[in-house]
Amino acid sequence: MVLVFITIFIIASNKSLANTQTDSLKHQLLSSEGIEKMKVLQKICRSYLFVSPDSCAKYVSTTIKLAQELNDIENEANANKQIGYAYFRVGEYDNSLLYFERAQKLFFDIEDYLGSAIITNFIGAVYYQKSDYSKAISYFVNTEKSCDTLIHNDSIQSPHLEYCPHTSKVTRKHAQSIEW
């Protein structure tokens, strides 16, 4: 019984802390403009992502509009990725796919090949959830190839290359399951 009480207390405390942080970000939003406003909107989206993906989608939609107004392709790509993930979380795979494909094109346009590779992996996950395993594997394999190229390219310096080995493990796991 004590364990149940402690668990409920921890969950309530975490939710209260998240609400306080979100309220603070919403207050900061009132005085923000331009790129700073986009960053705050994306932080608000992240705070809602696991609690209320629909709210996340609302805030990040505003980010997309603002990024388009400012011709900020990188933030537009990241915002599309966030909203795609929010839709993925609630099982709206067609909407998720739509935003992931937009993000992938934008990342490719700005030559952010790592961003494009990560999105390719997300698209594979969408097809996997839709039970289209052959398409999913195709995207996972393309992700692995892209990551292998990026990892072996000395000119690429990114702290996010750590995503690539994980992707390769996932690809091998799925490829093995198809073989069996």
pLDDT digits (tens, 9 = 90+) for 26-47: 767 777 788 788 788 888 888 8
pLDDT at 77: 94
Q: What is the pLDDT of residues 127-145, one digit of tens each?
A: 999 999 999 888 888 877 7
Both tokens assigned to 140: 């996972």
H-helix or E-strand spanning residue 87: helix 73-89
CA distance 11 to 3: 12
Above 60 in pLDDT, residue 4? no
Per-residue confidence (pLDDT) for residue 16, from 0 to 100: 45
